[in-house]
Structure 1
Amino acid sequence: MTEVRVGLIEFGKALNDSVALPGLGELPGGQVSLGRAVRGARARLKRADRILADNLRLGIMVRKKFFSSDVEPVTDAGFLKDVFVAVGRRDLGNGDALELYTDDTVGPDMSRQDGVAQVVAPAYDELTGFRVQVLVRDGVLRFGALTAFSRGGQPMRVLGLFGPGPVDELPAGRPGTVLLGFQCDVPPLAGDTLTAFDEPSHDHFERREGVAVVHGLNDLGNGSVVAAVEVPEGRGSVFTVGTRARVLRPAGTTFNERSTVVAADLRILSLARGGVAVRTNGGVRTFTVGLAFRDLRQNDVIEAYVPADAVALAPPPPAPAPLVDVNAASGPELAQLLSPEQVAKALELRQRQGGFPDVEAFGVAIGLQPHEIVRLRKRATAGRVALRETGVRQLDI
């Protein structure tokens, strides 16, 4: 199974910004603005055009009861519903969004162990799910850390850490309580080992440049297609030739929309506005996009993005070697370009006539063939000198 985006929760749109849960504190409130919010789904934190965090889990989700200040747990919330959630982050604020998705193929990086704790006693309640009393045996257990039980199961985020009051971390030798919520597909047992993992630090994972909906297609027959696209109303989108792109295929209705990522890590091959090739759409909402993806279909969504490590993934070509000045280079420097006999002849001629007017005249003077002079142009130059009168002729190549 590949990535399927199931919903979007936007913060700052709910009637209430937060709600207090006994023993847990304030949970931020958001509104389901796309698809559905499903408890246990994986999530990405989106702030403006940046993806700041990935592999979060919608571990706790509650909503307010009608005409009451009380809250109740929910497993599923539909379009335009207000929900209050815990995902292992304390910095969710107005303007942020959680992009909810499922993906059974690509999981988080769990190669670096950060801490190990032994479960002393598990507990469960219907509002906040599982919490376990633990003793940290090694390393450190941190709020928001990615964890897993040794008996298996899905990775889980630490939604709350108490020792006994709320703390940011539990060091080795210290007992405490870990809130895991409804992430546990393997119920915890006394004696279980809970391992925490250290994740690479990122300022952000990727920058979302924009989206455009496909309205028409032209198969070029060479493995690529040109699509007529339109940026949705109210969405600022910047498409640039060479930028990465992925293709999402929507399904369902507005109240239950899901989008499957059917292609990723593509490159935008071409852009055109009004039939004229351009490097960027320049803020225009309708244009054409060239992609090497022949299965592109009408109503697909093209999402342009820039990974945070794009420079590392595609390093710039090395700077070219400096050109050798045939009018100033030493013998060893000329030897990078010529045979020993040609170097000796070049030095003799240069001393006799004061230099060469250009690379072509230099090549002719030392007896190079036309194709050798063409190659030499890429590696040599002729600095300006005061020439003495000679019989050297230039070759028009």
Structure 2
Amino acid sequence: MTERRLGLIEFGKALNDSVSVPGLGELPGGQVSAGRATRGARARLIRNDRVLADNLRLGITVRKKFFSSEVEPVTEVGFLKDVFVVVGRRDLGNGDALELYTDEDVPPDTSRQTGTAQVHAPYFDEITGVSLQVHQRAGVLRDGALVGLLRGGRGGGQPMRVLRLYGPAGPVHELPAGQPGTVLLGFQCEVQPMPGDALVSFDEPEREYLEHREGWAVTHGVNHLPDGAVVAAVEVPEVQKANRFSVGSMVRVLRPAGTTFNERSTVAATGARITSLAKDNLAVPVISGSGVCTVGLSRIDLREGDTIEAYIPAPGTPSGPAAPGAVSGPQQLAPPPIPTPARGHAPVVPPVAQASLVDLNTAPPPELARLPGMTPQRVAAAIELRGRQGGFADVEAFGIAIGLQPHEIVRLRTRATASRIQHHGTGVRQLDI
């Protein structure tokens, strides 16, 4: 995978919701809440945890001048800075977000052409970038369409977005065959347009949404099983929007790079499925909210420090479930069954999460020594405390008692458990109180 996440722009957090630019009208304003916003980057529109559109382009980026109502063009905007953008969608509003990325190996789908226009004259403006005077030769050119330049029958650069479309009388939603018009491309062009070039537009399937984003979590410990499956201890952060993980959902792995103020990540793997979930050593079908839990995954390249992003592809998409009425195929996304405990018994831990757990209340010193963070001194302290107090209530109590750091306790949760202990002379089991 070569997709690199560059940053995130969230709308509704900027000091100004919009700014007026001559020739463009009102541009929506957002705040860079992660990474950086780089002009020309590809973008996904996210609304209410759904990816509504992909392969948008950050074609125009401006910011307000200090103590002025005027704007100036910018090529890159840093963390927590405000920016006003044009991406090929006119419906950006408060609560929306643009996920910015680059991908060298997976370009937009340009297999279905819808029209061809001939370029008569290109123009350039320091604020709005490149505009083309065109004559639509065949088909229809639409505002916001995915387009590409052809010169001598060969492509010139990556596909772009029509940022604005104008007819002889002003802004239009589409340009039919035989009509002249002006196409605003902004700063997307990798090759300088020339008179005589062809501007080809492409069709994109109409879908209500592309995928639903469930949640994300940071990996603190990874256990690779012999069959290739993975069991990971992850921490779900406290965020404004609800984080949710479900058995059967799909996962992609984001590998971080950069610093806090220039945080970027590479999509290291995608397409794995969540096979099991456990919290407090109990198997559950769904985990909501923040906290630490254990996630079982199918084969995937996962490392400590990675972020996992859970998602559900929309019906009809290549990796999603079949659309209503369609015949179910191998790609049908159906959650595997959750182990059902016998009546009167506590739920069981998923087998993949239970296989290698060390019981802190019964394990001999050599087994304790193989656990993460366990030095000879800590092993000796654990044995002495266990003999004196009869055991430990849970993994957290064990870690605190022998002086483990918080991140070491998180890692220990994926490798250890604590069986129920009995206080001498009372006959009462501690966890039953």
Tell me whether the two structures share a fold, i.e. TM-score over 0.5: yes
Moved over 6 A (4+): none
Could you tell me how far 1:115 is from its partner in structure 2? 1.1
Once residues 197 and 246 of structure 1 are traced to their aligned partners in structure 2, the CA distance between those partners, rounded to angstroms, is: 28
- Write the deviation string for residues 3-62 of structure 1: whole angstroms up to 9, x where unpaired: 110000000111111111111111111000000000000000000110000000000000
Shift of 1:218: 2.1
Per-residue Cα deviation, 1:291-316 (whole angstroms, up to 9, x for no partner): 23464112211111000022216348
1:232 aligns to what?
237
Find the structure with the greater CA-based Rg. 1
Identity %, equivalent residues: 68
Matches within 5 A, 1:258-273: 258-273=264-279
Name 1:67's counterpart in structure 2: 67
SS at match of 1:311: coil
What is the TM-score normalised by the length of structure 2?
0.71
Aligned to 2:203: 198
Give the alignment partner of residue 311 of structure 1, picking from 321, 339, 351. Answer: 321
SS of the counterpart of 2:309?
strand
Aligned length: 317
Q: Which amino acid aligns with 1:82?
A: D
SS at match of 1:255: helix
- One-letter code aligned to 2:164: G
Deviation, structure 1 residue 253: 1.2
Pair 1:156 & 2:160 matched: yes
Structure 1 residue aligned with 2:89: 89
- Answer yes or no: is the 8 Å Cα contact 2:248–2:333 preserved in 1: no
- In the other structure, the counterpart of 2:304 is 298
CA deviation string 1:113-133 (max 9, x = no partner): 111100011100111110010
Shift of the alpha carbon at 1:75? 0.4
Q: Is the 8 A contact 2:107 2:158 kept in 1?
A: no
Q: 2: CA distance between counterparts of 1:182 and 1:103?
A: 18
Equivalent pair of 1:219/1:294 in contact (CA under 8 Å): no
Contact 1:63 1:73 in 2 (8 A): yes
Report the counterpart of residue 53 of structure 1 in structure 2: 53
1:222 CA drift (Å): 2.2
**Residue 42 of structure 2 is aligned to residue 42 of structure 1:** yes
Residues 18 and 188 of structure 1, relative CA distance in 2, 3 Å threshold: same
Report if aligned partners of 2:269, 2:301 keep a CA contact under 8 Å in 1. Answer: no
2:201 partner letter: A
CA distance in 2 between counterparts of 1:10 and 1:107 reads 25
What is aligned with 1:347? none
| Alignment partner, residue 358 of structure 2 | none
Please, what TM-score do these two structures have when normalized by structure 1?
0.78
Deviation of 1:236 (Å)? 1.7
Instruction: Map 1:13-52; keep pairs closer than 5 Å.
Output: 13-52=13-52
SS across alignment from 2:171:
coil
Distance in 2 (CA, whole Å) between partners of 1:283 and 1:84 is: 32
Question: Secondary structure in 1 aligned to 2:321?
Answer: helix
After superposition, residues 178-217 of structure 1 pair within 5 angstroms as: 178-217=183-222
For 1:394, the equivalent position in structure 2 comes to none
**Displacement of 1:211:** 0.5
Gaps of 5+ in 2: 323-328, 335-433
1:244 aligns with 2:250: yes
Deviations 1:255-299 (A, max 9, x none): 100011101000112111111222222445221001234641122
CA distance in structure 2 between the aligned counterparts of 1:41 and 1:142, rounded to whole angstroms: 21
d(CA) in 2 for partners of 1:308, 1:113: 24
